A and B are shown apart, each in its own frame.
Chain A
């Protein structure tokens, strides 16, 4: 993440004389391979900024440089084929199958049918959806979470360097959203795309971003830094109030389970004799043991109480 792939230079967007600009003189760099999150209150101009990058909205002034090229010149339709775009409403074509939806941009780019076919399966696999089950379904046959996965698959189908994501998980229930965020972070570790991600949710910004730009009205940058630095040193009262309370708890979303020193407990392979299990518990400083199956998959916790509750003879096996 050393060189900028996207650079906005003094970009402004106004919708008419006498109105405040939606984006005011914004200069911003997005580094290659990073997830930059734009976060701010409703109406601050974050979605407008995103749409300026793929020219769904034309800037009133300023330059937008993508990979060294000024994209404010040239054909916007060609530009959009090079940039993946995921939105909250997903935007799948309702009368096209999932396969046809994913194939949209590769078809526009003139890929041959065999390559497109293989790519559809690859993309569905990537977002953990079985191609055989899903490729011929229609969007109305999917849950919200599945539709959003297809939205991501479609955005990635033509292998764009840049992905723009506008509140992509905003309309999904909290449990599915959390799962999709985790899946997306796993994907990004593998794909290393350059991503501009818009959200109004600071917790999501902290979790998803390599860097976060906290925006005030007019897309003015209040602070641009890593989540750790923003949580530790908020630039001003606006940022502080936007972060809210509980900075330590918010910081927990920045660290992964792999970062901790794993603790080991005694394990027992099922089925195990109760006598052996009791002996193991007596030797365990935690007074618990973990029952595993033949493949070392956890079955359940065992403690003295749970063993006594079974009221089975000491010779009886546990976990059968």
Chain B
């Protein structure tokens, strides 16, 4: 089973899910639960660094 994120969830939610994930990634789905893509630590770090 995967714990899914939705596009409206915060990156803090994403971090929480990723830290609990066996593969270090979080699955992103749309509101109907359909797979959209994944959130990785790298994509998170890239976004944070873009603001610095």
Query: Is the pair B35, A263 in contact by a Cβ cutoff of 8 Å?
Result: no
Cα distance A16–B3 in the bound complex, in angstroms: 55
Cα distance A263–B47 in the bound complex, in angstroms: 13
Cα distance A203–B6 in the bound complex, in angstroms: 20
Cα distance A158–B27 in the bound complex, in angstroms: 39
Cα distance A99–B8 in the bound complex, in angstroms: 30
Q: How far is the CB of B48 from chain A (nearest CB, A)?
A: 6
Query: Is the pair A255, B46 in contact by a Cβ cutoff of 8 Å?
Result: no
Interface SS majority for chain B: mixed
Residue of B nearest to A232 (CB): B51
Chain B 3-37 per-residue mask, 1 if CB under 8 angstroms from chain A, else 0:
01111111111110000011101011100111111
Cα distance A228–B51 in the bound complex, in angstroms: 10
Given contacts A182-B8, A253-B11, A297-B35, contact A265 B43 (CB under 8 A): no
Query: Is the pair A260, B35 in contact by a Cβ cutoff of 8 Å?
Result: no
Given contacts A290-B27, A298-B35, contact A260 B43 (CB under 8 A): yes
Cα distance A110–B1 in the bound complex, in angstroms: 51
Partner of B23, one of A249, A260, A286: A286
Query: Is the pair A256, B35 in contact by a Cβ cutoff of 8 Å?
Result: no
Q: Which of A193-234 contact B (CB under 8 A)?
A: 207, 228
Q: How far is the CB of B41 from chain A (nearest CB, A)?
A: 10
Cα distance A261–B39 in the bound complex, in angstroms: 8
Query: Is the pair B29, A257 in contact by a Cβ cutoff of 8 Å?
Result: no
Chain A 112-133 per-residue mask, 1 if CB under 8 angstroms from chain B, else 0:
0000000000000000000000
Given contacts A248-B48, A262-B36, A296-B35, contact A182 B9 (CB under 8 A): yes
Q: Which residues of A contact B34 (CB under 8 A)?
A: 295-297
Cα distance A249–B4 in the bound complex, in angstroms: 21
Query: Is the pair B2, A257 in contact by a Cβ cutoff of 8 Å?
Result: no
Q: Which residues of B contact A263 (CB under 8 A)?
A: 25, 37-40, 42-43
Given contacts A264-B37, A290-B35, contact A257 B9 (CB under 8 A): yes
Partner of A258, one of B7, B32, B51: B7
Residue of A nearest to B50 (CB): A259
Residue of A nearest to B2 (CB): A298
Query: Is the pair B43, A262 in contact by a Cβ cutoff of 8 Å?
Result: yes
Q: Which residues of B contact A300 (CB under 8 A)?
A: 1-2
Q: How far is the CB of B38 from chain A (nearest CB, A)?
A: 5
Cα distance A46–B21 in the bound complex, in angstroms: 40
Q: How far is the CB of A290 from chain B (nearest CB, A)?
A: 7
